[in-house]
Structure 1
Amino acid sequence: MQSQGSSLKSDQQRKLKPLVRMQGKIRTDMLDIKAHMQCMSDSVTTLISSSMKEIMKKFRENSGPEIVVGPGPTCEHSPEAVPSSGLPVKRVPKPAKALQSLMLPTK
């Protein structure tokens, strides 16, 4: 009876060793993946930051010193303002020009 118990225990330990090794390997792989993801995240953040700085620089160059302050241009042909109903208005942003070319006209 005791030999069966020790045999069973030995068999369980034999089966458990590869599982423990595999668990260690998976943990190591997951730590490697985490490190690579952090590195990629840092690279993307740097790239986005650099791109935004470049965009703002070009915007400042193109806008020049002309800064218009006030209600905006007045024109005889400006549409009349519609009286407000008092309800809140949700503004929907226009799609970017790159996306507008992809939109199909609806019928």
Structure 2
Amino acid sequence: MPDTPKHIIDQLAALGQESRFRVFRRLMKAGPDGIPAGQLASELDILPNTLSTHLGILSRTGLVSARRDGRTLYYSADIESVSGMVEGIVADCCNGNPDLCKSLQTSKVLQCG
């Protein structure tokens, strides 16, 4: 997905709901292997149909992806997309003065992917 300003705003809007943000954080913690939807619902105490709505919103913005293994859907955060979002947010940091933004550029968030 493109990292246009509109796309980044959509991603941030998707994260702007408390339960959805909790889902996203748990998927970030799970790493690239992801976590089964049922386990995610159970761990976060979210009804399966509500979780499905949240995952759909996160998926449409490219922050989350799913893979099927038999009958089980595993969800994971799309680290490349998350990195693109963060980079898009800080791209013009400090009006081209890189010394002021060094802590953002060396952040673990930007290096995990």
- TM-score using structure 2 length: 0.20
User: Computing the radius of gyration over CA atoms, which structure comes out larger, 1 or 2?
Assistant: 1
With normalisation by structure 1, the TM-score equals: 0.20
